[in-house]
RNA sequence: GCGGGCGUGGCGGAACUGGUAGACGCAAGGGACUUAAAAUCCCUCGGCCUCUGGCUAUGCGGGUUCGAUCCCCGCCGCCCGCACCA
């Protein structure tokens, strides 16, 4: 009895409409059920969705639909990370307004996402470029400013010469702009900063509490924050050699224990002392200039020689007035870490050793391995950085470095220089404040006004929003707001002076994405959040996105949550309780005579076990290249629209969830998609052919007879799939569903042929219902079609997850593998509840065991209950 | 350089974190149905051998254990993050 093939093109829009009309996915804040907030990182509206989006949103949707079936009140919203450079680039290239370009893209992509059948609450949708959204972001900025969490300071910034804007440290990758790829320059500019460093300690400490985050991400953040414990040491300057007025040099060190191994001081070229000394020393000034303009790219740093210049200044050793050390300006000392000055201990630091060897400075070993000999231990080419015991260090000799650290810290704390202690314990962080000023148009305006009399004046909240002007030109590089004829000219809100001017910098787009998850909890509010709603919904229970945001977005969001808490917008500590970083979608590359070729243009053939590729158009052979992330440059992209049009959304979703573990990359292959599509058709065929017989039967589990096999695997699968989805093991859940489908194949064929008894039909009806409900999170449209076909009421999407019967998931008889000397020799079938003695007796009675023992008693019998029997002969 | 991770069939990957290695899928081969093809269904599928049995096998070499893909030591290879951070 053949049924028609399942037709996703007709089916999918039909069910999407049915869900819409039933308003199944609109979430109410006053729903009394337990909440569950699942969120996928919202997309940048670049134009069209790509396969990475499909994977990301398919995973999130499985979680959302599963949790809904489990009885949670699920929040699953969607929005658009809509400010940023590409809109301005499009404006420059195509003469489109960034706003038009962005909203047009959003419309396209919304339609694409809808065609995926995602269970999203579209009623909460917003784009970060909506005035409604950035208005509230400006309110947050003003609150942060009032709370002292925002500063404006002149600083060296990373300048991207292509995008003509400033980048945060986090946005510089290998010395290049994260977006433009251009080599970054250092410039001195006055910029707005969020004081993320105020929370450095907490941001680092609180990582320990994020139990549902990948260790890798936590480690990356911990390293990025870079907490270190050390000592500030103020070295007295030798009066005779010091420039006028200078009396001390402050250094930061994590190794004060090595203070007797010190042989020089090194300061940054920008250090005040260096600048002062350079005033009277042209050679030194030239050296500083050279260092400042040296390359900053990764390659240059790696190969750069350690270079120094003796300033002629000398410092006095804190523990020996007769001991003076030279002060060098060195190219490897950074002004913006610690104090911009170090003491060099060549024996304990490779860089210091290289420097000392180059300039003929003393190398005194001060730590040696515990089993070393102090009389002969020497350092020549390789510094000793491990733990050990102190030597050549006067009163510290024999101590551990740790004890020596404490000793030096307390002795120097007691000495004083000027009015301060000579030594002071200090915790240092690598983390810098977050520079948010961008010299761009398409971003959230920073709501302040500059007045010649009043200085920086915040825009009064009543005057918000500071709206972006629509009439802007993109005919030149740089910031169109700067050259707008009227927008920037305003009266000072404080004194009324008419010639005040607006801040023309806009905020880094990472600001926009740092709180959108909170806005989703009450996007209709006049204030940035409704604290009640935010506190009820947050933290996000499951956040899903790419590993590339491990530092930037996730760290900024954690900062924002703290800042919003400090300003009363919410009262939670961490924004994301569970974090999952999914892998990329990768694809083979193809290279033809004229460069990269798209997969859609290529036909793959297999001959003699070798795969060959050729152009479909004219058969020209094409080289099969490496498997890489889908990218426009390599042309190895597959358009989700094409896949959905030819196979349907369910096939695309199912393939994305199959095979590869979600955290790893998935290789998109035509064969794989076809396999997924075969499964869609197979489920439909099995269910629809048996449907007439099933629809009249009541679902009922069977506990005995052949029908019991059906019920057992159905209940076992139900248990396993629930557990796997719960831990995001989608590929394993898929495997279990294949198993169940395989097991149902023969019984359903019998039922369709009218060759089954009533108990079998009832058991099968239940098993099919289970199957459909389990498939529903992954292939929601197919599930609806099957659900209706077997005559079930309501929508599959609103069915509760069934309970498995514990009695059916355990077998009364089990098969135990029996090993002899650790090698499997056979099986033992025995009652599940048989005790140890019974198992041993039965095992020893087995033929192959008897044979192996040759009549002798076993030396030992190991029985692991429910697991294995091992007979040691 | 520092930090972290990973190596299992032709391929993607399973294996309850010490207990039957290779679930499930893809690819391949054989067969059935068909005038034929597609679709579908059935069978085989790590390697080797003296093949209703046995040996061997989870990057390589050791170790611990009744038993190791899993734990320990030493190599080899690949991937990722940070990068002159004192």
In total, chain A counts a number of residues equal to: 873
Tokens linked to A383: 């510094």
Q: State mean pLDDT over A435-442.
A: 91
Q: Using one digit for the tens of pLDDT, what is the confidence trace for A34-80?
A: 999 999 999 999 999 999 999 999 999 999 999 999 999 999 999 99
pLDDT one-digit tens code per residue, A131-167: 999 999 999 999 999 999 999 998 777 888 887 888 7
Q: In whole angstroms, give the CA distance from residue A524 to residue A706.
A: 57
Which nucleotide's C1' atom has the smallest distance to the CA of A851?
A: B53
Q: What is the average pLDDT across A812-817?
A: 86
CA dist A36 and A68 (Å) reads: 9
pLDDT of A167 reads 78
Residue A300: pLDDT above 60? no
Strand B bases, protein C-beta under 7 A: 1, 3-5, 12-16, 19-21, 23-28, 39-42, 54-55, 66-68, 80-86
Distance CA A595, CA A325 (A): 62
Which nucleotide lies at the shortest CA–C1' distance from A686?
A: B40
Kindly state the average pLDDT of the residues A812-841. Answer: 86
d(CA A772, CA A784): 8
Low-confidence winner among A302-311, A565-574, A665-674, A716-725 (lowest mean pLDDT) = A302-311
Residue A256 · residue A230 · CB < 8 Å: yes
CB proximity A823–strand B (7 Å threshold): yes
A769 CA → B57 C1’, Å: 42
Q: Is the CB of A544 under 7 A from strand B?
A: no
User: Would you state the pLDDT for residue A762?
Assistant: 95
Answer yes or no: is A678 CB < 7 A from strand B.
yes
What pLDDT score was predicted for residue A2? 52
Give the position of tokens 């003076």.
A324
Task: Give me the pLDDT at residue A3, please.
Answer: 64
The mean pLDDT of A633-641, rounded to a whole number, is: 90
Q: From the alpha carbon of A335, which nucleotide's C1' atom is closest?
A: B85
Q: How much is the pLDDT for A1?
A: 44
Tokens 């990301």: give the residue.
Answer: A56
Contact between the CB of A173 and strand B at under 7 Å: yes
Q: What is the percent of chain A where pLDDT is above 70?
A: 97
- Find which of A369-373, A804-808, A819-823 is predicted with most confidence, using mean pLDDT: A804-808
- What is the CA A822 to C1' B67 distance in angstroms? 5
User: A259 with A364: CB under 8 angstroms?
Assistant: no
User: Does residue A631 register a pLDDT over 50?
Assistant: yes
What tokens were used for A544? 């899903």
Nearest Cα to Cα of residue A253 among A88, A375, A366: A366
Please tell me whether any atom of strand B lies within 7 Å of the Cβ of A333.
yes
Contact call for residues A872 and A862 (beta carbons, < 8 A): yes
pLDDT, residue A771, reads 97
- Select from A345, A227, A328 the least CA-distant residue to A277: A328
Confidence of residue A827 (pLDDT cuts 50, 70, 90): confident
Confidence band for A299, pLDDT divided at 50, 70 and 90? very low
pLDDT at A5: 87
User: Following DSSP, what letter does each residue of A834-860 receive, concatenated?
Assistant: --HHHHHHHHHTSHHHHHHHTTSPPSE
Question: What ipTM was estimated for this complex?
Answer: 0.95
Of A301-315, A407-421, A719-733, which range is least confident?
A301-315
Locate all alpha helices (DSSP H) within A423-524, ordered by sequence. Answer: 509-512, 516-519
- DSSP E strand boundaries for A119-237: 150-160, 165-167, 172-173, 176-177, 185-194, 228-236
pLDDT, tens digit, for every residue of A306-351?
A: 889 999 999 999 999 999 999 999 988 988 889 999 999 999 888 8
Nearest residue to B16 via alpha carbon and C1':
A867
pLDDT recorded at residue A158: 81
- The 3-state DSSP class for residue A229 equals strand
pLDDT tens-place string over residues A475-495? 877 789 998 989 999 999 999
Task: Report, in this order, helix, strand and coil percent for chain A, each rounded to 5.
Answer: 40, 20, 40
Pairing of strands A389-390, A367-368: antiparallel
Å separating the CA of residue A719 from the C1' of nucleotide B54: 39
pLDDT in tens, A96-133: 999 999 999 999 999 999 999 999 999 999 999 999 99
Nearest nt (C1') from A226 Cα: B85
Which nucleotide is closest to A332, CA to C1'? B84
Average pLDDT over chain A, rounded to an integer: 91
Percentage of residues of chain A with pLDDT beyond 90: 69
- CA distance linking residue A697 with residue A65, whole number of Å: 27
More confident call, A322 vs A811: A322
User: Using CA atoms, how far apart are residues A673 and A652, in angstroms rounded to an integer?
Assistant: 7
- Asked if residue A224 keeps its beta carbon closer than 7 A to nucleic acid strand B, the reply is yes
Residue A294 Cβ under 7 A from any strand B atom: yes
Which A residues between 476 and 505 have a beta carbon under 7 A from any strand B atom? none
Can you spell out the DSSP letters for A44-109?
A: P-SSS--HHHHHHHHHHHHHHHHHHHTT-EEE-B--B---SHHHHHHHHHH---HHHHHHHHHHHH
CA–C1' nearest nucleotide, residue A823: B67
CA dihedral sign of residues A684, A686, A691, A695? negative
Q: What is the pLDDT of residues A504-526, one digit of tens each?
A: 999 999 999 999 999 999 999 99
Question: Is strand B less than 7 A from the beta carbon of A204?
Answer: no
CA of A686 to C1' of B30 (A): 26
Is the pTM above the cut of 0.95? no
**Is residue A684 predicted with pLDDT exceeding 50?**
yes
pLDDT in tens, A241-292: 998 889 999 999 999 999 999 999 999 998 999 999 999 999 999 999 888 7
pLDDT of residue A722: 96
Q: What is the mean pLDDT of residues A557-580?
A: 97
DSSP state of A463: G
- What backbone phi and psi angles, to 5 degrees, belong to A95? 55, 40
Identify the band that residue A170 occupies on the pLDDT scale cut at 50, 70 and 90. low
Estimate in Å the CA A864 to C1' B62 gap, whole number: 29
pLDDT band with cut points at 50, 70 and 90 for residue A852: confident
């Amino acid at each position: 009895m053949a049924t028609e093939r399942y037709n996703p093109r007709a089916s999918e829009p039909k069910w999407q409409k049915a869900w819409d009309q039933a308003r199944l996915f609109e979430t109410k804040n006053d729903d009394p059920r337990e909440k569950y907030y699942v969120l996928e990182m919202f997309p940048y509206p670049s134009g069209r969705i790509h396969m990475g989006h499909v994977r990301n949103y398919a995973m999130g949707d499985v979680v959302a639909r599963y949790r809904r079936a489990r009885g949670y009140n699920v929040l699953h919203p969607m929005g658009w990370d809509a400010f940023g450079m590409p809109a301005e680039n499009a404006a420059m290239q195509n003469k489109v307004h960034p706003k038009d370009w962005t909203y047009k893209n959003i419309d396209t992509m919304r339609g694409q996402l809808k065609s995926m059948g995602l269970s999203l609450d579209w009623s909460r949708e917003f784009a970060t470029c909506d005035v409604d959204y950035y208005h509230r972001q400006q309110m947050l900025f003003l609150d942060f400013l009032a709370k002292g969490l925002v500063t404006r300071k002149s600083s060296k910034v990373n300048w991207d010469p292509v995008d003509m804007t400033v980048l945060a440290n986090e946005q510089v990758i290998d010395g290049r702009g994260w977006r433009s790829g251009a080599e970054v320059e250092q410039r001195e500019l006055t910029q707005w900063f969020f004081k993320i460093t105020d929370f450095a300690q907490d941001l680092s400490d609180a990582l320990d509490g994020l139990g549902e985050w990948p260790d890798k991400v936590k480690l990356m953040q911990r390293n990025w924050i870079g907490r270190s414990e050390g000592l500030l040491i103020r070295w007295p300057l030798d009066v005779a050699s010091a420039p006028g007025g200078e009396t001390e040099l402050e250094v930061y060190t994590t190794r004060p224990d090595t203070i007797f191994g010190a042989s020089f001081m090194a300061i940054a070229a920008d250090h005040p002392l260096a600048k002062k000394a350079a005033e009277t020393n042209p050679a030194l000034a030239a050296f500083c200039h050279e260092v400042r303009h040296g390359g900053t790219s990764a390659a240059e740093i790696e190969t750069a020689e350690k270079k120094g210049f003796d300033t002629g200044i000398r410092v006095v050793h804190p523990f020996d007035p007769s001991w003076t050390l030279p002060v060098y300006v060195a190219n490897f000392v950074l002004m913006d870490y610690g104090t911009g000055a170090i003491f060099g201990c060549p024996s304990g630091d490779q860089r210091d050793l290289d420097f000392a060897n180059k300039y003929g400075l003393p190398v005194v070993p001060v730590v040696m391995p515990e089993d070393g000999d102090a009389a002969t231990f020497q350092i020549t080419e390789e510094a000793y950085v491990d733990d050990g015991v102190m030597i050549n260090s006067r009163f510290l000799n024999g101590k551990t470095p740790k004890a020596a650290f404490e000793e030096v810290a307390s002795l120097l704390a007691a000495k004083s220089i000027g009015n301060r202690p000579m030594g002071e314990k200090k915790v240092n962080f690598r983390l810098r404040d977050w520079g948010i000023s961008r010299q761009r148009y398409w971003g959230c305006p920073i709501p302040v006004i500059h007045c010649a009399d009043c200085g920086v004046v915040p825009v009064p909240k009543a005057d918000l929003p500071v709206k972006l002007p629509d009439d802007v030109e993109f005919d030149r590089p740089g910031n169109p707001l700067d050259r707008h004829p009227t927008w920037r000219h305003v009266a000072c809100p404080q004194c009324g002076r008419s010639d005040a001017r607006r801040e023309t910098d806009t905020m880094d787009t990472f600001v926009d994405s740092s709180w959108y998850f909170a806005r989703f909890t009450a996007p209709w509010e006049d204030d940035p959040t409704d604290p009640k709603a935010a506190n009820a919904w947050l933290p996000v229970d499951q956040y899903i996105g790419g590993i590339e945001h491990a530092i930037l977005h996730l760290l900024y969001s954690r900062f924002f949550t703290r800042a919003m808490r400090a300003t009363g917008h919410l009262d939670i500590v961490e924004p994301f309780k569970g974090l999952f970083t999914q892998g990329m979608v990768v694809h083979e590359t193809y290279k033809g005579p004229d460069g990269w070729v798209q997969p859609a243009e290529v036909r793959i053939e297999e001959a003699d076990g070798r795969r060959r590729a050729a152009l479909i158009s004219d058969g020209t052979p094409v080289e099969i290249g490496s498997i890489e992330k889908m990218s426009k440059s390599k042309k190895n992209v597959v358009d989700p629209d094409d896949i959905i049009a030819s196979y349907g959304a369910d096939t695309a979703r199912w393939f994305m969830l199959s095979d590869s573990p979600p955290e790893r990359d998935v290789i998109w292959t035509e064969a794989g998609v076809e396999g997924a599509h075969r499964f869609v058709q197979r489920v439909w065929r099995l269910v629809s052919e048996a449907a007439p017989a099933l629809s009249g039967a009541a679902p009922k589990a069977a506990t005995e007879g052949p029908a019991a096999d059906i019920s057992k695997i159905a209940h076992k699968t139900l248990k396993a799939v629930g557990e796997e989805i719960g831990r995001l093991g989608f590929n394993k859940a898929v495997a279990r569903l294949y198993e169940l489908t395989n097991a149902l194949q023969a019984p359903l064929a019998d039922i369709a042929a009218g060759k089954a008894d009533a108990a079998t039909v009832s058991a099968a009806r239940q098993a099919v219902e289970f199957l459909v409900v389990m498939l529903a999170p992954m292939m929601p449209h197919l599930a609806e079609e099957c659900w209706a076909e077997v005559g079930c009421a309501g929508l599959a999407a609103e069915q509760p997850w069934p309970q498995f019967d514990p009695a059916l998931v355990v077998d009364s008889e089990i098969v135990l593998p029996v090993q002899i000397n650790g090698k499997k020799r056979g099986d033992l079938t025995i009652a599940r509840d048989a005790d140890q003695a019974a198992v041993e007796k039965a095992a020893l009675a087995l033929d192959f065991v008897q044979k192996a023992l040759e009549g002798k008693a076993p030396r030992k019998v190991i029985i692991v209950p429910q697991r294995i029997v091992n007979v040691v002969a």
